[in-house]
């Protein structure tokens, strides 16, 4: 009996099995045979390989919306610089300020994931050939022809990064001013008085229905001790009867309307990037409980920036959660730092939506934006990083020369010191011998003088 495949194999299978299911679907096949024409295709840059087959079939320009802002592959494939020394791997808790050991591990994660992705595309390529013919180019070659990338990033929340002209940051494209809540929610929040309320949501990607009941009880125990009222978004009703009076559970809540409410004190989140931009846009300090994917990287960046308290899911306790929520509410520094970030995020010459619309229409007007592409996209890994390799080699050579020179200098000093000490010892020995002979001569002269007397 076969056991369950390890998670790594699940990652491999996901890419090509889902692609095969999608392209084999009756509606997808009908769409591809319909003969409809389009001016532009917009794909998710995080996992676009399967959809590139549709780009090949329709023969039209395409763009990416890179939703996972820390994911570097769409950018590096299109030619934008992605040095591992300052570009943290999206799936780990690194920042752009790393020591030597962290930079080495960061590079190892980048190279390792790229290698796994390369292996996965071997199987995915077979799927594409089966559906679109053997002449279809390799997915990496097709990916290099992306006309433009709408990047879900902004230096106020993510990182300042080097982009080519075919990349525009449109983070917070979905952000909007808060609207008035429905009377029921507004009345309940108002009943909290000056204490205000705390909002909890683990996003759409983390299913609270999959959480063990013990974890729910742990969280509820922490929330029930707060003086604030609590709104907790859940995706399903839980079999819990001991919900504290200050806590209410809802299957859906208007997140941005709550984040923009004047009585909100803190936001407890999984650390999804959209939620991170929303909390900065509305100026709310947060407690993060990362779960998977880019959550760790997002949460650590927010903690480094000073407006978040990060908790480890595997080590979380009721006491730690309670203390973290109290800290971000009662310590003014968290609110101060998030307001600084809010000012940076909102200070833009146009809205992210206006920017996205402009570049989308730009690509359509020019039937692609190939003139914005860099020849760097056509380089292989070794060629792309040749300058880095050469620089490293020069640094190594320079270091070796420096160390050898230092060793020679130290050795020469020691040799000179040894020779000088030896000569000094010889002089001292001769001087001592001369002194002894002089003393003997003086003693002998004294003896002769005494005899005469």
b/e per residue 109-135 (b: at least 16 CB within 10 A) = bbeebeeebeebbeebbebbeebbeee
Residue 3 has pLDDT above 50, yes or no: no
Residues near 390 by Cβ (< 8 Å), separated by ≥ 6?
none
More confident residue, 5 or 19: 19
Lowest pLDDT segment from 20-24, 233-237, 403-407, 434-438: 434-438
User: What's the pTM value of the predicted model, to 2 decimals?
Assistant: 0.76
Mean pLDDT, rounded, for 232-241 = 72
Residue 62 has pLDDT above 70, yes or no: yes
Lowest pLDDT segment from 25-34, 39-48, 200-209, 267-276: 200-209
CA distance 115 to 110: 9
Q: Sheet harboring 62-66: ordered strands across?
A: 41-44, 62-66, 148-151, 167-169
Instruction: Give the pair of three-digit tokens for residue 186.
Output: 């507004």
Identity of the highest mean pLDDT range in 219-233, 322-336, 436-450: 322-336
Q: What is the pLDDT of residue 179?
A: 92
| Residue in the structure block whose two tokens are 């809010």 | 342
The answer to whether the CB of 66 falls within 8 A of the CB of 85 is: no
b/e per residue 181-211 (b: at least 16 CB within 10 A) = beeebeeebeebeeebbbbbbbbeebebeee
Residue 5 has pLDDT above 50, yes or no: no
More confident residue, 434 or 286: 286
Question: What CATH number should be reported for the domain whose range is 183-346?
Answer: 3.40.50.2000
Report helix, strand and coil shares of the chain as percent, to nearest 5.
55, 10, 35
Q: What does residue 440 show for φ and ψ, rounded to 5 degrees? A: -60, -40
The answer to whether the CB of 344 falls within 8 A of the CB of 155 is: yes
Q: CA 75, 78, 81: angle at the middle one, nearest 5?
A: 55
Q: CATH classification of 7-173+351-384 is 3.40.50, yes or no? A: yes
Provide the residue ranges of all domains of the chain, joining segments of one domain with +: 7-173+351-384, 183-346
Instruction: Give tens-digit pLDDT for 308-352.
Output: 999 988 888 889 999 999 999 999 999 999 999 999 999 999 999
Does this chain's domain 7-173+351-384 share its CATH topology with 183-346?
yes
Residues near 200 by Cβ (< 8 Å), separated by ≥ 6?
219, 223, 230, 231, 232, 233, 267, 268, 269
Ramachandran class of 306: left when φ > 0, alpha when ψ lies in -120 to 50, beta otherwise: left
What's the Rg (C-alpha) of the chain?
34
CA distance 312 to 317: 10
Dihedral (Cα; 239, 240, 245, 246), 10-degree rounding: -80
Q: What is the pLDDT of residue 106?
A: 81
């Amino acid at each position: 009996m076969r056991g369950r495949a390890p998670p790594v194999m699940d990652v491999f299978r996901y890419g090509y099995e889902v692609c095969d299911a999608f392209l084999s679907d009756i509606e997808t096949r009908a769409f591809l045979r319909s003969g409809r024409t389009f001016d532009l295709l917009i794909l998710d840059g995080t996992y676009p390989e399967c959809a590139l087959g549709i780009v090949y079939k329709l023969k039209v320009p395409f763009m990416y919306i890179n939703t996972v802002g820390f994911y570097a592959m769409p950018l590096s494939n299109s030619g934008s610089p992605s040095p591992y020394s300052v570009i943290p791997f999206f799936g780990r808790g690194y920042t752009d300020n790393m020591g030597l050991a962290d930079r080495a591990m960061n590079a190892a994660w980048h190279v390792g994931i790229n290698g796994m992705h390369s292996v996965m595309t071997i199987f995915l390529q077979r799927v594409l050939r089966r559906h679109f013919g053997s002449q279809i180019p390799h997915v990496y070659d097709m990916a290099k022809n992306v006309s433009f990338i709408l990047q879900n990033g902004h230096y106020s929340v993510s990182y300042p990064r080097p982009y080519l002209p075919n990349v525009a940051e449109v983070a917070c494209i979905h952000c909007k001013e808060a609207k008035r809540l429905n009377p029921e929610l507004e009345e309940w929040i108002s009943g909290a008085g000056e204490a205000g309320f705390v909002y909890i949501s683990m996003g759409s990607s983390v299913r609270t229905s999959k959480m063990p009941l013990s974890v729910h009880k742990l969280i509820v125990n922490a929330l029930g001790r707060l003086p604030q009222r609590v709104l907790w978004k859940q995706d399903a009703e839980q079999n819990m009867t001991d919900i504290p009076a200050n806590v209410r559970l809802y299957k859906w809540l208007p997140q941005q309307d709550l984040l923009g409410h004047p009585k909100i004190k803190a936001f407890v989140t999984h650390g999804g990037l959209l939620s991170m931009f929303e909390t900065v846009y509305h100026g709310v300090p947060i407690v993060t409980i990362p779960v998977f994917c880019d959550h760790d990287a997002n949460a650590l960046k927010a903690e480094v920036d000073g407006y978040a308290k990060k908790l480890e899911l595997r080590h979380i306790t009721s006491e730690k959660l309670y203390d973290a929520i109290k800290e971000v509410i009662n310590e003014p520094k968290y609110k101060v730092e998030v307001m600084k970030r809010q000012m940076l995020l909102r200070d833009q010459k146009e809205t992210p939506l206006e920017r996205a619309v402009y570049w989308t229409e730009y690509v359509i007007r020019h039937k692609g934006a190939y003139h914005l592409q860099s020849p760097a996209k056509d380089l292989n890994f070794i060629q792309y990083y040749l300058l880095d390799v050469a620089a490293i080699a020069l640094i190594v050579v320079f270091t070796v020369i420096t160390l050898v020179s230092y060793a020679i200098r130290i050795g020469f000093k020691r040799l000179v010191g040894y020779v000088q000490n030896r000569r000094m010892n010889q002089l001292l020995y001769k001087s001592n011998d001369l002194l002894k002979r002089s003393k003997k001569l003086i003693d002998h002269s004294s003896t002769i003088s005494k005899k005469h007397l």
